[in-house]
Amino acid sequence: MFRRAFALALGTLALAACAVSPEPASQRPAAVVRPVVPVGTPSTVAPPGRAVALLAPLSGPNAERGRALAQAAQLALSAPGSPPLDVRDTGGTAQGAAQAAQAALAAGAGIILGPLTAAETAAVAPAARAAGVAVLAFTTDPAQSQQGVWVLGITPAQQVRRLVAAASAQGKTKFAAVLPEGDFGKAMADALAGAVSSAGLAAPDIRFHDGTTASINTTMREVANYGARRGPVDAQIRAARATRTAEGRKKAEELGRTPIPPAPMDALLLADVGEKLGTIASLLPYYDLDPPAVRVMGPALWAAPASRSDAEMPGAWFAAPDPGAREVFDGQYKAQSGSPAPGLADFAYDAASIARVLAAEGGYSAAALTRPEGFAGVNGVLALQPDGTVRRGLALFEIRRGGAEIVEPAPAAVGTPGT
């Protein structure tokens, strides 16, 4: 089960602008700390609120995912007294999402769940904000976060915040990053800069590569400051050899065993997967960026073993939901649909469950949505912030020779370091 849930991460990544995270964990009742509201608990109070609108691609290339989103939302709203669910087809396009949102609002929607992608979310946001209706979108694009529009996908900021907090707790204070050029690399860079600043530490040294072996090598050498660290020793070795004496050769051999000064960072964030990650991993010892002196960290995508390919990175960290807790949600979904829940269905379940809980308590106001204690969902505890960002409690994983293992459990309450 653990391996299957981890393997879903790369399949989710294939959906552009939607997924950068591994598959979710279902809630564990023992981990719920009051007054956190467990979103899997059926409501027994009839809600006075308006309908819950779900915007999903029921047609087009993502129709299968759209149907899974609808099934998950229906599962969450199947308890007696739940608000009605109004499912609208976006066709998987921004125009279709905008039209679906307008129709849902005209029909009296009190809250909008979805849509799926960043482009669709951007198209839906203006009409929803104008109507004063909250949006719980399923994208992971942090650029879509704004007042009244929450991104429920697991974002780079959530992952990196958890990593920086854990590394800082171990005494790491000098952060750096080697990241791929592009939107994901930039998002990880912004997340690292923000997390390090919030921790009161010096600004990180962030560098980008273009994906070629030459660029990766140059970037790794530069971030390690290898020339300056190794240069003086190499110069002494060349001078000793130049004497062409036995004493010179002996001195050169001794100098060759001299440790070079430590790296300019003690924590290094990466974001690559596959072959490029393998290239970077092979350069870590070459440029003396070895654990435990340098803590290597990466994205939740590393939860899928295939994403790490043959990269040898024992001791590296990533932050992700605990997949071992998924059984409850998977069992409920499978009982309804006959198959395990696919990627992103958990976001629809959590969003619909939040709507159900709030409808039972009086409605979908901004104050109710941004309750400080947050909610306990399939992916762990989460709290919606007034600016549209979402705080999450993620587990900390360490890569070992037998696979990734949890070294710090996911926090059960918002407000603990890293959430």
Domain boundary among 318, 352, 369: 318
Answer for the pair 275, 269: CB distance below 8 angstroms, yes or no: no
% of the chain with per-residue pLDDT over 70: 88
Q: Are residues 331 and 297 in the same domain?
A: no
Please say if the pLDDT value at position 28 is more than 60: no
Q: What is the predicted pLDDT for the residue at 152?
A: 96
Q: What is the predicted pLDDT for the residue at 39?
A: 53
What is the C-alpha separation between 323 and 22, in angstroms, rounded?
8
Indicate whether 412 belongs to any domain.
Answer: no
304-321: pLDDT as tens digits: 999 998 788 999 999 999
- pLDDT (mean) for 195-204: 97
Domain boundary among 278, 295, 318: 318
Q: Are residues 352 and 235 in the same domain?
A: no
Residue 42 binned pLDDT confidence (cut-offs 50, 70, 90): very low
Q: Which of residues 1 and 121 earns the better pLDDT score?
A: 121
- 3-class DSSP state for residue 114? coil
The pTM (predicted TM-score) of the whole model is 0.86
347-372: pLDDT as tens digits: 999 999 999 999 999 899 999 999 99
229-254: pLDDT as tens digits: 887 878 888 888 888 999 888 888 88
| Residue among 205, 214, 215, 149 nearest 182 (CA) | 215
Domain boundary among 288, 318, 348: 318
- DSSP output for 329-392: HHHHHHHHHSS---TTHHHHHHHHHHHHHHHHHT---HHHHT-TT-EEETTEEEEE-TTS-EEE
What is the C-alpha separation between 189 and 300, in angstroms, rounded?
15
Q: Are residues 33 and 173 in the same domain?
A: no
Indicate whether 405 belongs to any domain.
Answer: no
Answer for the pair 372, 414: CB distance below 8 angstroms, yes or no: yes
Look over the chain and give the mean of its residue pLDDT values, rounded to a whole number.
Answer: 87
Please say if the pLDDT value at position 388 is more than 60: yes
- Burial degree of 128 (CB within 10 A; 0-12, 13-18, 19+): buried
- 3-class DSSP state for residue 401? coil
Q: Are residues 202 and 255 in the same domain?
A: yes
Q: Are residues 33 and 116 in the same domain?
A: yes
Question: Domain span at residue 357?
Answer: 2-154+322-388
Q: Are residues 190 and 309 in the same domain?
A: yes
Indicate whether 418 belongs to any domain.
Answer: no
163-198: pLDDT as tens digits: 999 999 999 999 999 999 999 999 999 999 999 999
Indicate whether 134 belongs to any domain.
Answer: yes
In this structure, the strands spanning 37-38 and 317-320 are: unpaired
- Burial degree of 115 (CB within 10 A; 0-12, 13-18, 19+): buried
35: preceding bond cis by omega (within 30 degrees): yes
- CATH number for the domain harbouring residue 236: 3.40.50.2300
Give the count of domains, the chain.
2
- Burial degree of 7 (CB within 10 A; 0-12, 13-18, 19+): middle
What is the C-alpha separation between 406 and 399, in angstroms, rounded?
9
Q: Are residues 349 and 265 in the same domain?
A: no
Indicate whether 70 belongs to any domain.
Answer: yes
Q: Are residues 126 and 260 in the same domain?
A: no
* Residue indicated by tokens 């998977």: 330
Q: Are residues 292 and 383 in the same domain?
A: no
Q: Are residues 214 and 303 in the same domain?
A: yes
Q: Are residues 271 and 359 in the same domain?
A: no
Q: Are residues 143 and 207 in the same domain?
A: no
